[in-house]
Amino acid sequence: MLTEQTDEQLLAQALDGNEDAFTALYRRRQGPVYRFALHMSGSPQVAEEVTQDVFMFLLQRGRGFDPSRGAVGAYLFGVARNYVRRAMEKSHSEAAMTTPAEDDDPLLVTNFDPVGEIARGQTSKAVWKAVLSLPEHYREAVVLCDLQDLSYAEAAEALGCAIGTIRSRLHRAHEMLVRKLQNSAPALAGFSGDAARCLS
């Protein structure tokens, strides 16, 4: 059964022209790739474009994939990351030409409303806004580890950095998220004003 095979096995069969294997690989991986792009960009439209671009890229460069350098999943996340970055740069430049910036946060000056599309509750809305307002490399760590459930090692593979880097980025990102949510989420009133660490 194709569903029991690993990503690498499916890709190897797809490279031999097996359409079923490629379809199985696509259906297994498109969801995580789409959600990664969605969480990173906040736009379903961008997420769809990125997902399509990622698999088109796989068709173009799939033969160059080296399993010894990492898993297919991490490879796809790495490709998706680059496409998301490109899409965000494009949307930034478009937004800069059409609308003035509302505040200092670069991610919130874009002219789409990411939260309204999907978020249903105030908590989700506030958290997503806070995640979107994180600097890009912190956001990547949060999205991969906290929202996509990747291990530190898998996230490090996808982002091309050390595990320690992921850990430190995550730690910093969590501190920033807590600080942002203190101010912006009434529903999360439990966030303490000063979560300082005592190292006695």
Partner 1 sequence: MTCREFIETAESLTPLQLRLLGTKDEPMSAHARECGGCGKWMESQRLLGNALQVLRAHTAQSEAGPKVELAVLEAFRTQGFEPVAAIAPDRGAPAVWKLSRFFEVGAYAAVAAALIVGIFLGARMWRDRQAPATPVQAQVTSTLPVNPRVTTVAGKTESLGNVTTEIAPKSASASTSRGGGLAAKRSQPAVEQAATTTVDRQGFVALMFCDPLICSGEEQVIRMELPGSASASADGNGSQPVIADVVVGDDGLVRAMRIVNQ
Asked whether position 56 contacts partner 1 by CB under 8 A, the answer is yes
* Three-state SS letters, 100-156: CCCCCCHHHHCCCCHHHHHCCCHHHHHHHHHHHCCCHHHHHHHHHHHHCCCCHHHHH
Q: Which of 13, 39, 76, 154 binds partner 1 (CB under 8 A)?
A: 39
Q: Which of 1, 3, 17, 68 binds partner 1 (CB under 8 A)?
A: 17
Q: Which of 28, 35, 85, 137 binds partner 1 (CB under 8 A)?
A: 35
Asked whether position 161 contacts partner 1 by CB under 8 A, the answer is no
Strand stretches in the chain, DSSP E: none
Tokens of 111: 């002219």
Which candidate, 171, 169, 141, places its Cα nearest to that of 157?
141
Which candidate, 24, 34, 26, 81, places its Cα nearest to that of 59?
26
Asked whether position 126 contacts partner 1 by CB under 8 A, the answer is yes
Which candidate, 193, 190, 177, places its Cα nearest to that of 129?
177
Q: Which of 2, 135, 174, 184 binds partner 1 (CB under 8 A)?
A: 174
Asked whether position 69 contacts partner 1 by CB under 8 A, the answer is no
CA distance 77 to 59: 15
Q: State the minimum distance, in angstroms, from the CB of residue 61 to partner 1.
A: 8
* Residues 29 and 76 sit within 8 Å (Cβ to Cβ): yes
Asked whether position 162 contacts partner 1 by CB under 8 A, the answer is no
Asked whether position 127 contacts partner 1 by CB under 8 A, the answer is yes
Using the contact rule CB under 8 A, the part of the chain among 78-86, 103-111, 126-134, 156-164 near partner 1 is 126-134
Interface residues with partner 1 (CB under 8 A) are 14-15, 17, 19, 22-23, 26-27, 30-31, 33-35, 38-39, 44, 47-48, 51-52, 55-56, 59-64, 118-121, 123-124, 126-128, 131, 142, 145-147, 149, 167, 170-171, 174, 177-178, 181, 185, 188, 190-192, 194-200
